[in-house]
Amino acid sequence: MMYAATTERSIAMAILAIVVVAWAIYVFTNIRRSKDEVGSEVELAANRGSLDSDEKLEGSRLERVQAFGVLMLLIIALVLPIYWLREGGRRDGAERGFSERAARAGEALAEELECVVCHGADMGGANYAPVVLDIGNQFSDQESYIIKTSWRAPAINNVFTRFDTGAEKLSEVDEVRKILNYGRGVMPAWGLPGGGPLTSQEVDHIIAWLWREQLPVEEVAATARAEKEAQMAANPSKSEGQVLFEIHCARCHTPRWPGRGPATLPNGGGTVELIPGPAGSGRYGPALNKTSLERLFPDIEDQISFIALGAADDVAYGEFARLGNYGMPGFGKILTEDEIRAISMYERSLDPVEQSTVEFAELYGPGGDS
């Protein structure tokens, strides 16, 4: 941090200047005067003045000096601990003030970069990012089939309930920083390391803004519960595991899931229905099915705890020690163990043969109105 010009610093500098000048004058005049005084020590020597009597020196005067000493000692003994006690709070306050300033700078950047255009004005997700997709692979007999559609963006006012779930303060955020630096799928890279426009300090500001805007975990969990209940009521034929998978997992593990629905053909050629690929056949995250999961997690309990915690960058998981990335979020903060078990059972029921009927590759171009 640069040394900013605070009021205290300006006052201190002024006092310092006055002290230095006063000292210079004092020293200067003393030298001059001592020159005048050569040979005059007999009259002017300090020890020739009249002094107090011994009685006074060793009595009341001594007491006054001692009392003064005790007073000074008391001040040191009391004020130092008080200062020390307040120091922690003062530093906390400074840190809070710092992150509040950073969050405000991040908010301004987020407005400029239009995060909320895709992620929703309230950062609650489900706004749409326009994309151009080649869905030739939706039809097994077509090589290329270009459409324009919109892509649901996830909520980001709850991102720390699934990424960086162990972070207690800003400086411990790592996964979200990587997501911002390198981008993710439809979302472009924002940080310099990924070829984006933002310096690392600007990325820090965005993170401070995200951090400030987070909803309480209980609220996020309650919203997830309400959404599950609504979906289950609307789709009585679906299992709890399937409903939860579609709400929380399909966006990364099912091809084209975030873009499902009506799409338009370029050059005004009408509309087409964008159909997601087979459930769990893989998108940003790998394919999940009976074969792959029974091999990776012979014991379903290991799958459950992996889903609760998520993957950590470069940390191995599963039977054959697959190296994690910062991709797979942890769901233990918003889903119960029973819910994660229901999803795990659903995933372990998916058929790899069905998943491999059509090969899906996602090609997206920049969105836009043109």
Q: In the beta sheet, which residues pair with residue 360?
A: none
Segment 279-318, which members bind ligand HEC (CB under 6 A)?
284-286, 288, 292, 296, 303, 306-307, 311
Q: How far is the CB of 124 from ligand HEC (least distance, A)?
A: 12
Q: How many residues does the chain have?
A: 370
Segment 195-254, which members bind ligand HEC (CB under 6 A)?
206, 248-249, 251-253
Q: According to the binding rule CB under 6 A, does residue 153 interact with ligand HEC?
A: yes
Whose Cβ is closer to ligand HEC: residue 137's or residue 317's?
317
Whose Cβ is closer to ligand HEC: residue 135's or residue 159's?
159
Strand order in the sheet with 146-152: 271-274, 261-264, 146-152, 128-134, 363-365
Q: According to the binding rule CB under 6 A, does residue 159 interact with ligand HEC?
A: yes
Q: According to the binding rule CB under 6 A, does residue 170 interact with ligand HEC?
A: no
Whose Cβ is closer to ligand HEC: residue 138's or residue 344's?
344
Q: How far is the CB of 117 from ligand HEC (least distance, A)?
A: 6
Tally DSSP H helices, then E strands, for the chain: 14, 7
Which two structure tokens, joined as six digits, stand for 48? 């020739």
Q: According to the binding rule CB under 6 A, does residue 148 interact with ligand HEC?
A: no
Whose Cβ is closer to ligand HEC: residue 137's or residue 241's?
241
Q: Cα 268 vs. chain centroid, distance in angstroms?
A: 42
Angle formed at CA 8 by CA 7 and CA 14, multiple of 5 degrees: 90
Q: How far is the CB of 272 from ligand HEC (least distance, A)?
A: 20
Q: How far is the CB of 115 from ligand HEC (least distance, A)?
A: 3
Q: How far is the CB of 275 from ligand HEC (least distance, A)?
A: 17
CB 221 within 8 A of CB 334: yes
CB 350 within 8 A of CB 365: no
Structure-token match 């459950």, residue found: 304
Reference 183, options 296, 327, 66, 307; nearest CA is 327
Reference 348, options 292, 304, 263, 289; nearest CA is 289
- What is the distance between the alpha carbons of residues 20 and 32, in angstroms, rounded to a whole number? 18
What phi and psi, each to the nearest 5 degrees, are found at residue 264? -105, 150
In the stretch 35-74, what mask flags binding to ligand HEC with x, by CB under 6 A?
A: ----------------------------------------
Strand, helix or coil for residue 323: strand
Residue ranges binding ligand HEC (CB under 6 A): 110, 113-115, 117-119, 129, 151, 153-154, 156, 159, 176, 179-180, 184-187, 190, 206, 248-249, 251-253, 258, 284-286, 288, 292, 296, 303, 306-307, 311, 322, 324-325, 327-329, 331, 343, 347
